[in-house]
Amino acid sequence: MMWSWCRAVLLALFLLAPLPALAGDIIGDIIAKDGKATLRNDKAQELDARVGMQVETGQLIKTAEGSTLEIRLADGSVFRIAAKSTFIIDDFAIQGADSRQMTARMLTGALQYVSKPARFKKDDRRIFLANAAAAIRGEDFIAFVGRRIEAVLISGKVELSARSNTVMLDRRGQSVTFDSASKFDRAVVLSDEQLVTLGARLGWQIELPPQPEEGVAGTGPIPCALVGNSLVCG
């Protein structure tokens, strides 16, 4: 009798536990497309992307030259994918107001990730940029992945980790580049005018949020110090 009761309790706990999205789970939809893009699922089926199409975990998303794609996830956050890009959302799960989890990979190309302010007790969002992992702590972030990787913060915070090196972007317009050997260049702060011109590289207009109440920070190179294995800039 005791074993039957314990087994029933364990089964109930298992069914109530939050589970990550599995390959093929619907996590969002396509809300804008310009040009040609495809989605390939885990069965190697390649589909032409179209507005309104549902997006699943594990799909290989590719945009052609001169083409862009915009994906909205279930939490309202948006991925804008630039031309000649390859991108995968491996995992996405929300458990009420308790937790949000996302893992994505930018293999080549460029993207902008924009999310709405939200408060979860546990919020684990990561975008892998070639050999680096970007832990997202904010609402607006741009990345370019090629021979060199460039990360640009619009708002919020992003922690970049590559091998044993880490750099935190926590200032509007803060930008850093690094190579395949995980060697970070000195971080700089881009002006609002420079941020807007990034739109020409991405293929869409950059909309900047209002300046923070503390005012406009200076632009140009900013001092950095190596603390342990972390590069702290600001």
Neighbours of 139 (CB within 10 A): 18
In a domain, 175, yes or no: yes
- Rounded Cα–Cα distance for residues 2 and 8 (Å): 10
Read out DSSP for the chain?
A: -HHHHHHHHHHHHHHHS--PPPTT-EEEEEEEEES-EEEE-TT--EEE--TT-EEETT-EEEE-TT-EEEEEETTS-EEEE-TT-EEEEEEEEEETTTEEEEEEEEEEEEEEEE------SEEEEEEEETTEEEEE-SSEEEEEESSSEEEEEEES-EEEEETTEEEEE-STTEEEEE-TT--BPPPEE--HHHHHHHHHHHTSPPPPPPPPTT-PPP-EE--EEEETTEEEE-
In a domain, 130, yes or no: yes
Q: 206: domain CATH number?
A: 2.60.120.1440
In a domain, 55, yes or no: yes
In a domain, 10, yes or no: no
Mean of the per-residue pLDDT values for the chain?
A: 83
In the predicted model, is pLDDT for residue 50 greater than 60?
yes
Per the structure, the count of domains in the chain is 1
Cα distances (angstroms) measured from residue 148 to each of 10, 25, 151, 155: 49, 32, 10, 22
CB 19 within 8 A of CB 25: no
More confident residue, 211 or 169: 169
pLDDT of residue 23: 54
In a domain, 83, yes or no: yes
pLDDT of residue 7: 45
Strands 132-136 and 78-81: unpaired
In a domain, 2, yes or no: no
Q: What is the pTM of this model?
A: 0.80
pLDDT of residue 232: 43
* Full domain range(s) for residue 141: 20-233
In a domain, 74, yes or no: yes
Per-residue pLDDT tens digits for 156-207: 999 999 888 889 999 999 999 988 777 888 889 999 999 999 999 999 999 9
Q: Which class for 179: exposed (0-12), middle (13-18), buried (19 or more C-beta within 10 A)? A: middle
Residue whose pair of structure tokens reads 């990979």 in the numeric block? 105
Per-residue pLDDT tens digits for 117-142: 788 889 999 999 988 899 998 889 99
In a domain, 91, yes or no: yes
